[in-house]
A and B are shown apart, each in its own frame.
Chain A
Amino acid sequence: MFELIVQVLVYGVIIGAVYGLATMGLNLIWGVMRVVNFTHAEFLTLGAYTAYWAWVLIGLNPIASIPLSALLGFVIGIFIFYIIIYRLLFSPDIHSTLVATFALGVALAELMKVLWTADYRGVPWALGVIKFSWFSIPITYVFTFISCILIIIIVYFILYRTYFGKSIRAVIWDSGAAAICGVNVKATLALGFALGSALAFIGGSLIVVYLPTGINPYMGHLYLLRCFVIAVVGGLGNPWGALAGGLVLGLLEQASPIVLGYIPGVEPLSLTPFLSFLILIIVLIIMPGGILGRRR
């Protein structure tokens, strides 16, 4: 039993870190501009395709493709912000950004289908395993985990040690007061959206390591639901909440099939999403702001 618990913890933390990173962008965008970005699923997918094409065309592995993903995500984020988001941000109808990001997501998914077909693709990147006495971890998973930690440290540095980061945090807390203090709110919003988009792209690139043949135009939706659960459980608007939520979901996904397996007549893997959403509801009732949510 001890062996099983260790395996669940190790794999749960590794996959949880990737989930957390994939959700950080969603959380950041919500925090900065109160926009539920439904295009997040397609940003993840585009990140996965970036990793795939980097592998196919120039032989870059998913980790080495992170800078490329980040750059693409940042540029696309800036473009989308100025073309669509900013125009709707101050619309009297609060649902307009929600509908617009949803529509953009559908359009992007269909565009990806036209460009790359709906075929399932994958990156067969393997580097062997680190073998312990009773279990093994693929080296690619370890590298992915280390990359997640490094990116999280970089995001921390950006948010807490740069003027831009301070501006973002100021806008998250009170955009009106930030503007009075001389913060260029429009530029901060744009950069915040671009940073969120870049994080989603990076998350998509890293997911590829765990999904050997699941890259297709609609794959993002598998993760979008998880991202919403993570974001709400961790605390909407707080990037660190995303990490906490990611770890909770990662551990839950690893542990629940084993625990549920003891219940007769239950299909454990199929019941895991139910458990995730049950936890979401419970957390919302007990801590409406999430685990690390902002409390006023």
Chain B
Amino acid sequence: MSSRAVSKTIAVIIAVIVIIAIAAAAAIVVMPPTPSPTSPPPTPPTTTPTTPTSPTTPISPTPTEKIPSEIRIGVAIQLSGAQVVEGSASFMGIKCAVQWINDRGGVNFKGVKVPLKLIYYDCESKRDYAVKLVEKLITEDKVDIVIHPYASTFVMATAPVTEKYKMFSINFGGSSDALYQQGFKYMVSTHGFAILHYWSTPFTMIKEVDPTARKVAIVFKDDEWGRSLGESARTKAKSFGFEIVYDRSYPPDITDATPMLREIAALNPDILCVGGHYKDGYLIATQLRDLRINIKWVIIQVAVAKPEFGDGLGKWAVGFIGETTWEPECKWEIIAAREGKEYYGPTSDELVEYYYKLGGKGRPSAYTGYGAIAVLVAAKCIEVAQSLNSDKLIEAAKTLDFYCVKSRFKVDPENPAKQIGSINPVVQWQRGEGNKLVYAVIYPFEFATSKPIPMPKWEEKEGWPELKP
């Protein structure tokens, strides 16, 4: 063998060894460590009297069931990875609600206050890992109730596990309509769904403040979420007696909406409904500005409800309307009192107080409200069922109809995975005093921080100074 051939062989052997070493090192680094359950430090029960009352009649208690020393709530949630923002904010809401309940002694269970214990894992925004963790929560940690991770795709993956073990579970962050069409028997949803819940509140508001508004243009992203929003807008617009003058989808990877917007402008609608995600919603908002298309009411789901929308557009954001699921300004206790319904759990002000007490930074986002309602519903179901048996808990959930920090909770008695009570507040970017850009809650009127205004004309905004956030 020539020396060149020998050196080639050696080179190949070295290359193979290096590859194996890199693969082994990568496996060690990438392989998730065996998770150890984490639980927040237990809070000693206090003697503070429970403020909320529970008028809902408890289901007959199970006589053989012992009173536990703690009720274990299991969560596998996105505390790192792609969905860390949503997961962490939701988890803050979960922690706040647990703390609020424990500060009041715990959950009423057969005449005794039983504290909640939160057992949680970081699913690293990986669906497969979330599935494993939910199974671990049920089989190893023996939790009594599971709270699913944030987002529909995750719930779609973890719900079959809770169903397999007939474990009572709560979906707080999945809003795809497909979720309640799966026949899940042990899952309750607390979040509003696209088809069921969107557009009702902005349409109600517009009907009240501008009865002359009649013509509606609907555009929606051509994906599952966008199509649901489009279908919902179509149905609701008809039910509100609006005339639909334009109803088209746009591709998910849209980079130019100007041809569509020009067509819409020619039809002169009073209301423009846009259903999609942040990127496309923002694109449409900027191109409405660039083409100087003036429409009185422009509702963009879900871009408007994001702070980046105002940060990016500045004064041009004024007038855009969106729906949100929770804001710190929401005071559903007022609506509950008006309707004569029970209000359970912390008020928004209390939740915000707990948020900062537990280390929350910045303004709490809607996700904090998402997380809080999950725990409140779990606690309420236990109080009504007086049992930790999943069958009894799900029966209890079907009977509940109450308000809490994130609007109303009521599920379809035939399908508890289908939330039917949730109400979305309406928000609008406005020009505040001192040339400030203000993010205002404009509906329901009972706790609105400002009155709704029609979109100021673009030509009018041109003369404004830049607004400070």
**Nearest neighbor of A211 in chain B, beta-carbon distance:** B255
Pick the most buried of B255, B259, B260, B291: most chain A CB atoms within 10 A of its CB.
B259
Contacts of B257 in A (CB 8 A): 269
Contacts of B208 in A (CB 8 A): none
Q: Is A147 an interface residue (CB 8 A)?
A: no
Whole-angstrom distance between the Cβ of B245 and the nearest chain A Cβ: 13
The stretch of B154-162, B169-177, B282-290, B348-356 in contact with A is B282-290
Whole-angstrom distance between the Cβ of A38 and the nearest chain B Cβ: 18
Contacts of B283 in A (CB 8 A): 211-214
Interface digits, A140-179 against B, CB 8 Å rule (1 contact, 0 not)? Answer: 0100000000000000000000000000000000000000
Q: Is the interface of B mostly helix, strand, loop or mixed?
A: helix
Q: Is A84 an interface residue (CB 8 A)?
A: no
Interface digits, A242-281 against B, CB 8 Å rule (1 contact, 0 not)? Answer: 0000000000011111100100000111100100000000
Q: Is B16 an interface residue (CB 8 A)?
A: no
Q: Is A128 an interface residue (CB 8 A)?
A: yes
Interface residues in A169-221 by Cβ distance below 8 A to B read: 210-214
A213 and B278 contacting across the interface, CB-CB below 8 Å: yes
Which of A141, A210, A267 contacts B249 (CB under 8 A)?
A267
Contacts of A268 in B (CB 8 A): 248, 259-260
**Nearest neighbor of B253 in chain A, beta-carbon distance:** A222
Q: Is B178 an interface residue (CB 8 A)?
A: no
Whole-angstrom distance between the Cβ of B30 and the nearest chain A Cβ: 14
B249 and A270 contacting across the interface, CB-CB below 8 Å: yes
Which of B259, B278, B286 contacts A258 (CB under 8 A)?
B259
Q: Is A120 an interface residue (CB 8 A)?
A: yes
Q: Is A67 an interface residue (CB 8 A)?
A: no
**Nearest neighbor of A3 in chain B, beta-carbon distance:** B266
Contact of A258 with B312 at beta-carbon distance under 8 Å, contacts A136-B290, A136-B292, A214-B279 already known: no
Q: Is B82 an interface residue (CB 8 A)?
A: yes
Contact of A254 with B253 at beta-carbon distance under 8 Å, contacts A129-B292, A135-B291, A213-B279 already known: no
Interface digits, B282-308 against A, CB 8 Å rule (1 contact, 0 not)? Answer: 110010011110000000000000001
Besides A128-B462, A258-B259, 16 more A-B contacts (Cβ < 8 Å) are: A4-B262, A4-B266, A118-B82, A120-B279, A122-B282, A126-B290, A129-B290, A135-B291, A210-B256, A211-B283, A214-B279, A254-B258, A255-B259, A258-B262, A268-B248, A269-B251
Whole-angstrom distance between the Cβ of A184 and the nearest chain B Cβ: 32
B278 and A122 contacting across the interface, CB-CB below 8 Å: no
Taken together as a complex, chains A and B put the C-alpha atoms of A135 and B262 apart, in Å, by: 9
**Nearest neighbor of A259 in chain B, beta-carbon distance:** B259
Contacts of B312 in A (CB 8 A): 122, 124, 212-213
**Nearest neighbor of A129 in chain B, beta-carbon distance:** B292
Whole-angstrom distance between the Cβ of B243 and the nearest chain A Cβ: 18
Q: Is A131 an interface residue (CB 8 A)?
A: yes
Whole-angstrom distance between the Cβ of A194 and the nearest chain B Cβ: 27
B263 and A15 contacting across the interface, CB-CB below 8 Å: no
17 A-B interface contacts by CB (under 8 A): A124-B312, A124-B313, A129-B290, A136-B291, A138-B290, A211-B283, A213-B278, A214-B255, A253-B259, A254-B258, A255-B259, A257-B259, A257-B263, A258-B259, A258-B263, A269-B248, A269-B254
B292 and A273 contacting across the interface, CB-CB below 8 Å: no
Interface digits, A6-39 against B, CB 8 Å rule (1 contact, 0 not)? Answer: 0110010001000000000000000000000000
B314 and A124 contacting across the interface, CB-CB below 8 Å: yes
Contacts of B253 in A (CB 8 A): 222
Whole-angstrom distance between the Cβ of B53 and the nearest chain A Cβ: 45
Taken together as a complex, chains A and B put the C-alpha atoms of A261 and B246 apart, in Å, by: 10
A210 and B259 contacting across the interface, CB-CB below 8 Å: no
Contact of A7 with B278 at beta-carbon distance under 8 Å, contacts A211-B283, A213-B312, A267-B249 already known: no
Contacts of B124 in A (CB 8 A): none
Contacts of A269 in B (CB 8 A): 248-251, 254, 257, 259-260
Taken together as a complex, chains A and B put the C-alpha atoms of A212 and B399 apart, in Å, by: 47
Q: Is B222 an interface residue (CB 8 A)?
A: yes
A222 and B282 contacting across the interface, CB-CB below 8 Å: no
Q: Is B316 an interface residue (CB 8 A)?
A: yes
A210 and B263 contacting across the interface, CB-CB below 8 Å: no
Whole-angstrom distance between the Cβ of A222 and the nearest chain B Cβ: 5
**Nearest neighbor of B265 in chain A, beta-carbon distance:** A135
Whole-angstrom distance between the Cβ of B268 and the nearest chain A Cβ: 13
Taken together as a complex, chains A and B put the C-alpha atoms of A265 and B156 apart, in Å, by: 32
Taken together as a complex, chains A and B put the C-alpha atoms of A151 and B76 apart, in Å, by: 54
Whole-angstrom distance between the Cβ of B286 and the nearest chain A Cβ: 4
